[in-house]
């Protein structure tokens, strides 16, 4: 029996230059599209009469970029998802995911790519409703103080010593689901990002779990349009280097940055009474 299925075009690279006299704007997207609906015949008997080619999806992205322009990723994703559901009767659901790469302006038509994080957007349009999830990935943060870890379970295999002074570092992967599908997307993203950073900086941490909750609660507390926040925080371990063979003391100054394995803390912070999700989403 054929189970749930979908198909689409992944990682459509789109760069759109908006020319306004001598001053240009630059948008850099990585767009992925997935469609679902009455597609069983293609799988079961090779009947492609209901299959919109993935090449057509790619072409639609580039044509829409010209016809409609490209601004906030949520707006462009909503435009695409609604187009595919509205124009193809056999398509009952469309999911459009966008990675947005930021460029800082150096001059009227000169830019430098920003590499400290990637903005993400996932829009789902189905019969159940429209859902917009925004987020950020690869946001690497570090506190060199105000972090402890002790009082944890210890058994015969535990070698980790308790500490009242450690480096806390992580690479934030955060997603937040909006309560609606019409807001000031730029202000919402910048405000949510600022809330995440403020909570990370301002929380005296006894565990990365505590920091995760503070970050999610910070977004909900400052952004009323957000219904739910989901975070995955890898613990980027920093190990105190043993300098005793060289006759040197090391009062939490020289560390070895670990690569793997690493702790992974995941969690959800939801607003009381928030509307339920209309589509599956990350975490």
Q: Which are the catalytic amino acids?
A: 9, 54, 237
Looking up tokens 């056999």 gives: 90
How many CB atoms neighbour CB 133 within 10 A? Answer: 23
The DSSP code sequence of 157-221 is T--PPPBSS--EEEEEEEEEEESSS-S-HHHHHHHHHHHHHHHHHH--BS-HHHHHHHHHHHHHH
Q: Is 31 helix (H, G, I), strand (E, B) or coil?
A: strand
Which helix (H) or strand (E) covers residue 7, if one does? strand 7-20
Strand partners, 226: 178
Are 81 and 126 within 8 A, CB to CB? no
Looking up tokens 């949510």 gives: 192
Are 176 and 133 within 8 A, CB to CB? yes
């Amino acid at each position: 029996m054929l189970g749930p299925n979908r198909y689409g075009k992944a990682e459509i690279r789109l760069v759109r230059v908006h020319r306004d006299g001598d001053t240009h704007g630059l948008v850099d997207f990585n767009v992925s599209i997935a469609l679902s609906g009455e597609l069983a015949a293609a799988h079961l008997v090779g009947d492609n009469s209901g299959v919109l080619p993935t090449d057509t999806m790619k072409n639609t992205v580039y044509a829409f970029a010209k016809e409609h322009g490209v601004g906030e990723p949520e707006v462009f994703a909503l435009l695409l998802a609604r187009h595919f559901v509205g124009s193809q009767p056999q398509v009952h659901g469309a999911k459009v995911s966008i990675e947005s790469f930021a460029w800082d302006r150096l001059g009227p038509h000169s830019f430098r790519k920003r590499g400290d994080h990637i903005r993400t957007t996932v829009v789902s349009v189905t019969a159940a409703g429209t859902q917009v999830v925004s987020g950020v990935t690869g946001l690497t943060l570090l506190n060199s103080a105000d972090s402890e870890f002790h009082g944890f379970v210890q058994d015969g295999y535990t070698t980790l010593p308790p500490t009242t002074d450690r480096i806390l570092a992580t690479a934030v992967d955060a997603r937040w689901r909006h309560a609606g599908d019409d807001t000031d997307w730029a202000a919402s993203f910048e405000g949510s990002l600022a809330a995440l950073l403020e909570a990370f900086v301002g929380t005296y941490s006894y565990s990365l779990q505590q920091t995760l909750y503070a970050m999610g609660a910070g977004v909900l507390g400052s952004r009323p349009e957000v219904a739910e926040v989901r975070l995955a925080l890898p613990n980027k371990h920093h190990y105190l280097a043993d300098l005793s063979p060289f006759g040197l003391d090391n009062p939490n100054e020289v560390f070895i940055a670990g690569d793997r394995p690493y702790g992974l803390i995941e969690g959800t912070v939801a607003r009381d009474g928030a509307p339920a999700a209309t589509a599956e989403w990350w975490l």
